[in-house]
Amino acid sequence: MSSLKDAPSLSPTSRKGFSFAAIDYDDDYTGPVETVEEIHPPSKSTSRSKKNKARDSKKPKKNKGAAPVSEVDEPVSSSSVKKTSGSKPVAMSDNQGEDYADDFEDPVDSDDYIPSVGTSPPAAALRPVTKSKALMADVEAEEKRLYATVQEQLRLEKEEVMQRIAKWEADQAQKAEEMRRREEELKRQLAAQQQREQEVKQRLSDLVEQQVSQHVAAASAAGKAAAAPTNTATHHAAAKAVENDETEDADEQGTGVSRAELQRRRRREHERAVSLRRAEEEEAAHALFQRLAQDVREVFHELNLSVVAAEKERLIKDERYRRERELRDRREDMTRAEKLEKELKEREEREAKFWAMIEQRDEKFRTFLEERMNKDEEEREARLRRDLEDRATRLRNERELREEMDKMEKERRAKAEEESRHHDGLVLTAQIEEVSARYRAQLEEVRRQMEADSLRKDELQKAELAMMAKRHEAALEQLQRQHAQQLATMDGHAGNVSRIEALVATMQETMEATKAMNEKLLAERMSVLKQKERQLDERQAVLDAMVAEMKANQETVAAERARVAGLYAKFELALSSFSKNSEEDRRTFREAHAHYDTLRQQAEKDRRLMLGEVAQERKLLEQQFEEFLAKKMEAMAELQNERISIARERAEASMVRERQNRDETDLLKALRSREEEYKMKLESIESDRATACHMKDEHKRLCDAAAAERQALRQEREKFELEKKELLSRFEAIRRQAEDAASSQERLRIQLMGDRSDALDGNGAAVGLLRGGPLVCNAASRFQMDLARQRAVLQNIS
C-alpha cells in the first residue's frame, strides 16, 4: 500500500476563494452619503449665503486692522518695503484657503483631485515676466509627470495581469510535472513489486531445492546407517561361515555355497527396498514443496493483481480530475482576462475624459496667469525705478555715517587694547609666580619619590634574597628527607633488587628534576630582578629628562619676563601719547554728533515720503484682491458644476460595482456547489480507502496463513533436527565399533608379528606399543574428519 501514499486522489483539494485583487475601484469609490449630498447641492444655499454675509462683515474689520499700520512712525528701509509687499499676498492666500474649505467640505479622493482654478500662487504673482516661461515649463513638467504616472499604473496593471497568467501557466506546468512524476513513481513501484515477486519466486525455488536436498541427504544418511549394521553382520556371518567351512568336511561344501547365495540375494533385496523407500520419500518431499510454492505464488499473484487494479483505477481518476480542472481553470482565466480587458478599456476612456477636462482648465489658468503677470511686471518696473533712486541717496548717507562710525570704533578699540595689555601683564606675572612655585613643589616631590624608590628597591632585593635562601633550604631539607626515605625503603626491601633499582632511578630523576626546577626558578627570578633594575633605570632617565625640561622652562620664563617688562615700557609710552590725543578726538566726536543730527532729520523726511507711497500701493493691492475674489467665485461655480458631474459618474460606478458584486455572489454560489461536489468525491475516496483497508485485512490474513505454514516448516525442521541427533548418535556408535575393531585387528597383527620375530618379549611389546599408537591415532583422525564432514552436511541441511 505504499503506492497510495502521495496519490492526488487521497490528498485534500485546495479551496479557491474569490479575490478582489483583480478588480480595483479604490480610486473612484465614494460612499453613498457623499454622492447623495453632491447630487443635491441646493441644500447648501442658506449656509453659503450666511458665509458670504459673514465674509462681508469681516472685510471692514480687516481694513480697520490694517489702517493703523501707516500711522505708526517706524524707520522704513528697502528691505521693509519688500517684506510688506511679500507678506500681504500670503495672508490673502490663507483667507482664500479658509473660504474654499468652508464652501467645499466634501472629501476628495487622491486620484480625482482637481486643482483650484482661482487660486493664484502669491509668489508667482510678484515674479518678473521672465519667469513666466519657467512656470509654463513647470506646468508642462507636471502634466508630463501625471501622464507618466498614469502610464506607469497601466504598465504595472498589465504586468500584474501577465504575472498572473505566467503564474497560472507555471502552476499548470508544475501540476503536469507532478502528475508525470507520480506516474513514474507508480511505474517504479510496479517494477519493484515485480522484482520482489521474482525474488520471492527465486527464494521459494531455492528453499524447495534446499529442502529436497536435505531430504535426500537425510535419506542417504539413514540408508547408510541402516546398511552399516547389515554389512557388519554379513561380515561376521561370512567370517563365521569361513571358519565353519574350514572346520567342516569337504562333503558339506555344496550346502555352504547355497547359504552364501541366499545371503547375497537377501542383501540385494534389502538394498533395493532401501532405495525404493528413499525415492518415495524424495518424491513426497518434492511434491510437498511444489504445492507450498504454488500456493505462495498464487497468493502473491492475487495481491499484485489487486494492487495493480487499484493503482490503475486511481490513475484514471486522477487523470480525469486533472483534465476537468485544467478545462475549468482555462475557462475561468478566459473570463477573467475578458473582464480585465473590459475594465481597462473603461478606465482608459474615463482617464481620457478626465485629462481632456484637466487640459482645458490648465489652458484657462495659463491665460489668466499670463495676463496677471504682465500687469504685475509693469507695476514692478515702476516701483524698481523709484527704489533705485531712493537707494542711491540712502547709500550715500550710509557711507558717510559708516566712515564716522569706523573712526569712533578705531578709537574705542585702541583704548580697549591698552586696557587688555595692562590686564595681561598682571595675569602673566601672577602665572609666572604660580608656575615657579609649582615647579619647586614638583622637584621636591620627585626627589622624595626617587629616595623612596631606592629604599623600596633595596628592601625588595633583600626580601627576594631571603626568600630564595629559604626556598633553597626547604628544597635541600626535602631532598635529604627523600634520601633518608629512599635508604629506609632500600634497607627494608633488600630482597627485591630490581624494584630498588627502579626506585633509585626514579629518585635520581626527581632529584635532577628538582635541580633543574631550582635552576629555572633562579634564572626566572634573576630575569625578574634584572627587569626591575631596568625599569628603575628608565624611571631615573625620565626623572633626569623632567629636571632638564624644568630648567628649560625656567629659562623661557625668564626670557618671557624680560619681554613683558619691555612691553610694559612701550605701553606706558603709548598711554602718554593717547592722553595727549584724547582732546582732539573729543572735538571731532562733537562735530560728528552734529552731523548725525542733520542726517537723522533728513532720514525722517524720507521715511514720511515712503509711508505715503506704501499707502498708495496698499490701495492698489486691495483693488486687485477684490478683482481676484470675483474671478475666484466664477472659478468656484465652474468647479461646483464639475463636482456634480464627477458625483454623477461615481453613482454610475457604484451601480457597476453593485452589478459586479452580484456577479461575485453568483460565482461564490457556484464555488459552494463545487465544494459540495468535492465533498462527494472525498466521500467516494473514503469508500475507496475502506476497500483498501479491507484488502489490507485480506493481505494480513494471507500473511497469517503464510506464518502458519512457516510454523509447520519450523516443526518439520525440528523433526529433522531430532533425526540429525539420532544419526549423530548412530555415527558415534559406529565410530566406537570401528575403533574397537581397529584395536582388535592391531592386537592380532602385533601378536602375529611377535610370533614371527626372534626378538625378546620386552622388545616386541615395546615395538607393538610404538606401532599401535600411531595406527590408532590415524584411525581416530580419519573418523574425526568423516564426522566433521557429516556435521557440515547436516549444518547445510539445517
Q: What is the pLDDT of residue 219?
A: 63
**Rounded Cα distance, 226 and 185, in Å:** 60
**Rounded Cα distance, 265 and 267, in Å:** 5
- Which DSSP letter does residue 68 get? G
Q: What is the pLDDT of residue 113?
A: 41
Is residue 80 within 8 Å of residue 602, measured between CB atoms?
A: no
**Rounded Cα distance, 538 and 437, in Å:** 27
Q: Which three cell numbers stand for residue 780?
A: 581416530
Is residue 214 within 8 Å of residue 720, measured between CB atoms?
A: yes
**Rounded Cα distance, 376 and 370, in Å:** 10
Tell me which residue has cell 598682571.
426
Phi (first) and psi of residue 398, to 5 degrees: -65, -35
Burial annotation 283-318 (CB, 10 A radius, 16+ → b, else e): eebbebbeebbeebeeebeebeeebeebbeebbebb
- Which DSSP letter does residue 111 get? T
User: What are the helix and strand counts (H, E) for the chain?
Assistant: 8, 0
Domain range summary for the chain, segments of one domain joined by +: 420-606
Is residue 168 within 8 Å of residue 333, measured between CB atoms?
A: yes
Q: Which three cell numbers stand for residue 384?
A: 524698481
Residue among 218, 261, 195 at smallest CA distance from 719: 218
**Rounded Cα distance, 225 and 728, in Å:** 10
Q: What is the pLDDT of residue 256?
A: 56
Q: What is the pLDDT of residue 782?
A: 66
**Rounded Cα distance, 437 and 429, in Å:** 13
Residue 668's contacts (CB-CB under 8 Å, 6 or more residues apart) are 18
3 state SS of 128: coil
Q: What HEC string does 425-487 produce?
A: HHHHHHHHHHHHHHHHHHHHHHHHHHHHHHHHHHHHHHHHHHHHHHHHHHHHHHHHHHHHHHH
**Rounded Cα distance, 581 and 323, in Å:** 116
Displacement of CA 178 from its chain's centroid (Å): 28
Residue 120's contacts (CB-CB under 8 Å, 6 or more residues apart) are 368, 369, 372, 628
**Rounded Cα distance, 476 and 639, in Å:** 116
CA contacts within 13 A on the Cβ side of 631: 16
Q: CA torsion angle for 638, 643, 644, 649 (degrees, to 10)?
A: 130
Is residue 30 within 8 Å of residue 654, measured between CB atoms?
A: yes
The alpha carbon dihedral of 398, 400, 403, 409 has a sign of negative
Q: What is the pLDDT of residue 257?
A: 58
Is residue 2 within 8 Å of residue 189, measured between CB atoms?
A: yes
DSSP assignments along 546-559, one per residue: HHHHHHHHHHHHHH
- Residue count of the chain, please give it: 798
- Which DSSP letter does residue 301 get? H
**Rounded Cα distance, 142 and 361, in Å:** 14
Name the burial class of residue 214, with classes exposed (0-12), middle (13-18) and buried (19+) by CB atoms within 10 angstroms of its CB: buried
Q: What is the pLDDT of residue 224?
A: 57
Q: Which three cell numbers stand for residue 596?
A: 548725525
Q: What is the pLDDT of residue 126?
A: 42
Which CB contacts under 8 angstroms, 24+ apart, belong to 438-446?
439/550, 439/553, 439/554, 442/546, 442/550, 443/547, 443/550, 446/543, 446/546, 446/547
Is residue 179 within 8 Å of residue 8, measured between CB atoms?
A: yes
Mean pLDDT by runs of 10 across the 798 residues of the chain is 46 45 43 41 45 50 41 38 39 44 42 42 43 69 78 80 81 81 78 77 72 67 54 50 50 60 83 84 78 74 76 83 86 87 86 83 82 84 85 83 83 83 78 75 78 79 78 79 73 64 75 79 80 81 81 82 78 75 76 80 81 82 82 81 82 82 83 82 81 81 83 82 80 78 78 70 47 50 68 66
Residue among 359, 410, 365, 341 at smallest CA distance from 147: 359
**Rounded Cα distance, 369 and 144, in Å:** 20
Q: CA torsion angle for 730, 734, 737, 742 (degrees, to 10)?
A: -160
Is residue 28 within 8 Å of residue 336, measured between CB atoms?
A: no
Displacement of CA 2 from its chain's centroid (Å): 35
Tell me which residue has cell 631550582.
518
Is residue 721 within 8 Å of residue 33, measured between CB atoms?
A: no
Q: What is the pLDDT of residue 161?
A: 78
Name the burial class of residue 226, with classes exposed (0-12), middle (13-18) and buried (19+) by CB atoms within 10 angstroms of its CB: middle
Burial annotation 681-699 (CB, 10 A radius, 16+ → b, else e): eeeebeebeeebeeeeeeb
**Rounded Cα distance, 96 and 636, in Å:** 11
Q: Which three cell numbers stand for residue 276?
A: 525404493
CA distances from 263 to 14, 269, 277 (A): 93, 10, 21
Is residue 628 within 8 Å of residue 19, measured between CB atoms?
A: no
